């Protein structure tokens, strides 16, 4: 049975592709009709840009909105551009507040205006409201589908009301209690409603030591609160304590995943690129910026080497060894940098302990420097039968690994203070430092001692 289930969860991408390229559109449409929207979204993400348009047109228009909501911006925008403004307005109008805001925000300006025009008045009002909160804040992440109750009614009244209502919004685990000015004063869990006596008043069963989220809080901070306190949903309030809406865990999971992907991609200089199957020209453009920055730093390193051209001319073997010390410094520095960036992201690295951290990484740089200096000295001395050459490269290795450890802590802390994303800029600055220190100490010491 277990195997059967795991099979079921795999999406038949291959079968779909074969059917698509064979022009069996009716078959594809039938397959799509039987798939949940999240699977269709995954399928679109896994397909080349050209197939995406074809697949999109085969999706039943009644579920296009739901699929849209689960697509990343990179995949969604070309699809939005291929639709008429009326269709977009219709699909987007059915979305939750937070997804509605995200789709609107992701639209190119010209399309956005056309879509807004073809919306009815109610949706246009709603668009204004959801867009009034800044992107990446709690306000932009929340939905307004809360159920609010008053403190002075009995549990029984609420139970009757809910039975009349017939269904609750998704992921509802709390009803919110507000006073007559809509001010948030407490919350009642569904579990409490079920386990309390019907005659109890809401004010008796509600929790009042609640935590609330201000609408202006940044979404990464909201996510770390959810993680820390194991919340499933949390109320969002404005600056006067009025209830605005709620944030649910499924949106937080998306934030956590996106942030993790962002850190990882940023460290490879892929700030903007998350779509593995983006068109070639777009990908080339996005990646070339980073390659350009790297070419500049590589030329800088070459320039440092060129200062020692006469030394290299006299002793060609130095050129052979010239890449070893910078390479080791780059790896050691990246290790420290990655740990510090992660430590900052999860809140372990703060003002209070950064001096201690600097001391630790200095010590590790020293010990690792010692280990690899001795080893490389031995290898080089044996290879070239030259003890002095071994000593020169050992010294450079030692210096560079210490520089790598210190830079690995200092650079991200400094960048953060300057409000620059350390994951994006950190590694290029770091390798520039370790390249230059490595080449300079190696060729400099060699010029001094060997020539």
For the segment 184-203, give every residue that binds a second copy (CB under 8 A).
190-191, 193-197
Please select the residue that binds a second copy; options are 276, 385, 418, 419, rule is CB under 8 A.
Answer: 276
> By CB under 8 A, is residue 157 in contact with a second copy?
no
| CA distance between the termini of the chain | 75
Cβ atoms of residues 172 and 143 within 8 Å? no
Residues 256 to 275 in contact with a second copy, rule: CB under 8 A: 256-257, 260-261, 263-265, 267-270, 273-274
- DSSP 8-state class, residue 201: B
Select from 294, 307, 269 the least CA-distant residue to 440. Answer: 307
- Which of 111, 232 has the CB closer to a second copy? 232
d(CA 247, CA 212): 10
Side-chain-side CA neighbours of 374 within 13 Å: the count stands at 5
Say if residues 447 and 313 touch (Cβ distance below 8 Å): no
Strands, E assignment, 50-201: 148-149, 174-178, 184-189
Q: Which of 321, 311, 299 is nearest to 386 (CA)?
A: 321
Question: Among residues 372, 395, 440, 442, which is the contact residue for a second copy, using CB under 8 A?
Answer: 372
Token pair for 3: 């195997």
Q: Which is nearer to a second copy, 58 or 255 (CB)?
A: 255
CB of 187 to a second copy, least distance (A): 15
- E-strand stretches of 296-367: none
Task: Report the nearest approach of a second copy to the CB of residue 191 (Å).
Answer: 4
Q: Return the residue of 60, 136, 348, 449 that touches a second copy, per CB under 8 A.
A: 348
- Binders of a second copy in range 279-338 (CB under 8 A): 280-281, 283-284, 287-288, 290-292, 294-295, 297-299, 301-302, 305-306, 309-310, 312-313, 316-324, 326-328, 331-332, 334-335, 337-338
Q: Decide if residue 120 touches a second copy (CB under 8 A).
A: no
Nearer to a second copy, 116 or 277 (CB): 277
Which sign, positive or negative, has the C-alpha torsion 227, 230, 236, 237? Answer: negative
Q: Between 116 and 258, whose beta carbon lies closer to a second copy?
A: 258
Residue 392 interacts with a second copy (CB under 8 A): yes or no: no
Shortest distance, position 151 Cβ to a second copy, whole Å: 19
Q: How far is the CB of 258 from a second copy (least distance, A)?
A: 10
**In terms of CB distance, is 118 or 189 closer to a second copy?**
189
Cα atoms found within 13 Å of the Cα of residue 46, Cβ hemisphere only: 13
| Burial grade of 2 (CB within 10 A; 0-12, 13-18, 19 or more) | exposed
The least CB distance from residue 50 to a second copy, in Å, is 10
Nearest to a second copy of 61, 284 (CB atom): 284
- Neighbour tally for 110: CB within 10 Å: 10
Residue 86: how many other CB atoms lie within 10 Å: 13
Q: Which residues, 163 to 182, sit near a second copy by CB under 8 A? A: 163, 165-168, 170-173
* Interaction between residue 252 and a second copy (CB under 8 A): yes
CB nearer to a second copy: pick between 116 and 290: 290
Nearer of residues 182 and 273 to a second copy, judged by Cβ: 273
For 367, the 3-state DSSP assignment is helix
Which CB sits closer to a second copy, 254 or 391?
Answer: 254
CB of 125 to a second copy, least distance (A): 25
Per-residue contact string for residues 77-116; x = within reach of a second copy by CB under 8 A? ----------------------------------------
65 binds a second copy (CB under 8 A): no
Q: Does 217 bind a second copy (CB under 8 A)?
A: yes
What is the number of residues in the chain? Answer: 451
How far apart, in whole angstroms, are the C-alpha atoms of residue 122 and residue 77? 24
CA distances to 314, 351, 418 from 449, in Å: 13, 42, 41
In this complex, which beta carbon is closest to a second copy, that of residue 107 or of residue 409? 409
| 47 lies in the binding site for a second copy (CB under 8 A) | yes
Rounded Cα distance, 394 and 386, in Å: 13
450 lies in the binding site for a second copy (CB under 8 A): no
CA distances from 297 to 78, 291, 353 (A): 35, 10, 32
């Amino acid at each position: 049975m277990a195997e059967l289930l795991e099979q079921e969860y795999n999406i038949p991408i291959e079968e779909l592709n074969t059917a698509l390229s064979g022009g069996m559109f009716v078959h594809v449409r039938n397959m799509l009709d039987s798939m949940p929207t999240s699977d269709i979204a995954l399928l679109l993400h896994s397909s080349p840009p050209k197939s995406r348009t074809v697949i999109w047109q085969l999706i039943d228009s009644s579920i296009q909105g739901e699929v849209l909501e689960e697509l990343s911006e990179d995949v969604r925008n070309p699809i939005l551009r291929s639709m008429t403004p009326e269709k977009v307005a219709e699909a987007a109008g059915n979305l939750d507040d937070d997804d509605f805001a995200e789709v609107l925000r992701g639209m190119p300006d010209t399309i956005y205006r056309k879509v807004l025009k073809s919306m009815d008045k109610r949706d246009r009002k709603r668009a204004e409201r959801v867009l009034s909160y800044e992107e990446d804040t709690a306000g932009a992440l929340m939905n307004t589908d809360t159920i609010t109750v008053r403190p002075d009614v009995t549990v029984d009244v609420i139970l009757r009301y809910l039975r009349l209502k017939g269904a609750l919004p998704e992921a509802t685990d709390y009803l919110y209690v507000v006073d007559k000015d809509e001010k948030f004063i407490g919350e009642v869990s569904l579990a409490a409603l079920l386990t309390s006596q019907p005659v109890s008043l809401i004010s008796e069963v509600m929790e009042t030591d609640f935590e609330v989220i201000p609408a202006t809080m940044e979404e990464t901070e909201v996510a770390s609160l959810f993680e820390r306190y194991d919340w499933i949903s949390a109320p969002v309030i404005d600056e006067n304590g009025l209830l605005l809406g709620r944030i649910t865990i499924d949106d937080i999971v998306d934030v956590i995943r996106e942030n993790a992907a962002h850190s990882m991609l940023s460290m490879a200089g892929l700030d903007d690129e998350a779509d593995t199957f983006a068109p070639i020209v777009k990908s080339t453009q996005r990646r070339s910026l980073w390659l350009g920055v790297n070419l500049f730093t590589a030329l800088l390193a070459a320039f440092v080497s060129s200062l020692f051209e006469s030394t290299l001319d006299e002793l060609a073997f130095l050129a052979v060894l010239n890449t070893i010390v910078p390479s080791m410094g780059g790896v050691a520095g990246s290790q420290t940098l990655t740990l510090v960036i992660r430590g900052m992201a999860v809140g372990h690295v703060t003002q209070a302990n950064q001096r201690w951290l600097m001391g630790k990484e200095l010590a590790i740089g020293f010990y690792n420097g010692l280990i690899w200096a001795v080893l490389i000295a031995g290898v080089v001395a044996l290879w070239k039968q030259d003890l002095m050459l071994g000593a020169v490269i050992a010294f450079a290795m030692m210096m560079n690994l210490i520089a790598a450890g210190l830079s690995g802590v200092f650079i991200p802390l400094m960048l953060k203070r300057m409000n620059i994303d350390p994951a994006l800029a950190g590694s290029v600055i770091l390798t520039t430092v370790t390249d230059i220190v490595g080449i300079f100490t190696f060729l400099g010491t060699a010029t001094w001692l060997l020539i």
